[in-house]
Copies of this chain bind each other. A is one copy, B any other.
């Protein structure tokens, strides 16, 4: 059975030494001192490692079952879901008006990392609910909020997002699901949706579907789309559950991974639905969910790789194979542990330096969202809007790579399902696909976000890096190892952005042919920035003698690895970008 150790100390380091959470002037943040957050993280960690993690491998092997139209989750999921609810974890960062605890989103992400690491498929039942909660919270009427939110905050009812249809995913303008207005103000929804995560299950009394559909009069394409609330069971005036609505599970998908999450074909046969937000403005409302979901998937991307790394480390320390090239390190044993071998170290350091950087990025992103929402900070909102596709695309691509690296440490044992390493890889693979495949994230970044508000946000990003570098230029312990490579990498990113501006006007394909590399280039620069910030914090701790010196020294060494061995990727991405569209677009379709 794979292990999972909640990374409390590292989460605390990012929250307090780097982000300085409790020193923020945002509402409610002054309570969040290190002792308080540690207590929260410890409790979430305990639940994750003791209750959720042990269900991960069995959940993968058992999967979900569709029996007489009802989805059954794997053994133990029901009890674990109750434990999560009872602990109040589903309500952590929700609005107190509807039963939430009102903590910042940053804390939701910090605890969420551990829930995802422990059991990604399980956590999705709650995660989708949170997205639906946010959409209703932002766009619902008072009545809708009163009806749905308290039950969704507690996860007595769970939520879903219904976008994809068999013939369209990214291009939602083509969707065919219809909404017919009724005299009572409701709509009848008819159509088929596919790939609906947590579409049905036995963990909750009701499932609240948010469904994109076309109501009459909206015109062609995405303009005609509206968003509807379609509950599995209709809700009576008094809040009790009424009759079954006209929505049913057509089939369960057989997937590469996340077997324990029910991915459903949902059939809407004149199901009763209610408009959420404005008519024909469903895409806007849906994007409230999508943006949150994308940050959440970025979180999944690296969080899923955390236990993979931990198990690889444990195996590398335990498995005796070969001798160190510099002399036996375990002379009394039949061989040395794998971890003495440089190439095993290279793999573990690639994982470790990515995962810790990703954790910082994810929490920084969450903190930007808090600044945007709680502090009405428009700059923070612009920055996180720019960063969202980077967080989603880069963290999931590299997170998947990290699981593959971790699996590789096990040799043949990594390929056998009983060790659990295959599951980490198979589960991680979906994060690159759903909530907008990573190519779509790259398109969003280069085609939309770069030029948003006149390019203001990307310029603010560069200014922020520049200021940081200037502020720390005299910090001798940091300047050579961190500031210099960050500057160089940031220059590559600026050069790429300039290339897009100059060439993209004339030939948009010149920009879009480099969009994927740009997303990765941006990701590396951002992780380099995170590492430089962590290095400043760690060095400061060492200089002042506060904190665990071993931990801080390890942090600095891990950061140096990232700067030396990962950041040089920016040069290759830039070279690919600068080659433009010519070789990408040259061939006729028939030549492929």
Interface residue ranges, A against B (CB under 8 Å):
164, 167-171, 173-174, 194-195, 253-257, 313, 316-317, 320-322, 325-326, 334-335, 337, 339, 341-349, 352, 400, 404, 407-408, 411-412, 414-418, 422, 425-426, 429-430, 432-434, 437-439, 442-443, 447, 507-509, 512-513, 515-516, 550, 554, 557-558, 560-561, 564-565, 568-569, 571-572, 575-576, 579, 581, 583-587, 589, 591-592
* Contact A589 B317, beta carbon cutoff 8 Å: yes
Within 8 Å by CB of A339, from B337, B345, B516, B589, lies B589
Report the Cα distance A408→B434, complex, angstroms: 10
Most buried by B among A407, A575, A584: A584
Q: 27 A-B pairs, CB-CB below 8 angstroms?
A: A169-B321, A170-B322, A171-B321, A174-B335, A254-B418, A255-B416, A257-B415, A316-B592, A317-B589, A326-B509, A341-B439, A342-B585, A343-B516, A345-B513, A346-B584, A404-B429, A411-B433, A411-B437, A412-B433, A415-B430, A415-B434, A426-B426, A557-B586, A560-B583, A561-B586, A564-B579, A568-B572
* Contact A174 B256, beta carbon cutoff 8 Å: no
Taken together, the copies of this chain in the complex come to 2
Residue ID in chain B nearest A352 by CB atoms: B592
* Contact B425 A256, beta carbon cutoff 8 Å: yes
Task: List, in ascending order, chain B residues with CB within 8 A of A168's CB.
Answer: 321, 335
Closest approach, in angstroms, between the C-beta of A430 and any C-beta of chain B? 5
* Contact A415 B256, beta carbon cutoff 8 Å: yes
Residue ID in chain B nearest A443 by CB atoms: B343
Report the Cα distance A347→B592, complex, angstroms: 12
Report the Cα distance A283→B173, complex, angstroms: 63
Report the Cα distance A320→B325, complex, angstroms: 55
Q: Main SS of the interface on chain A?
A: helix
* Contact A433 B415, beta carbon cutoff 8 Å: yes
Within 8 Å by CB of A348, from B408, B513, B592, lies B592
Within 8 Å by CB of A442, from B173, B322, B343, lies B343
Task: List the 5 closest A-B pairs by CB distance, nearest first.
Answer: A568-B575, A342-B512, A256-B422, A561-B583, A564-B579
Residue ID in chain B nearest A434 by CB atoms: B412
Task: List, in ascending order, chain B residues with CB within 8 A of A347's CB.
Answer: 439, 516
Say yes or no: A576-B572 contact (C-beta < 8 A), given A557-B587, A585-B342: no
Task: List, in ascending order, chain B residues with CB within 8 A of A342's CB.
Answer: 509, 512-513, 515, 581, 584-585
Report the Cα distance A313→B587, complex, angstroms: 13
* Contact B558 A587, beta carbon cutoff 8 Å: yes
Closest approach, in angstroms, between the C-beta of A261 and any C-beta of chain B? 12
Closest approach, in angstroms, between the C-beta of A574 and any C-beta of chain B? 9
Task: List, in ascending order, chain B residues with CB within 8 A of A257's CB.
Answer: 415
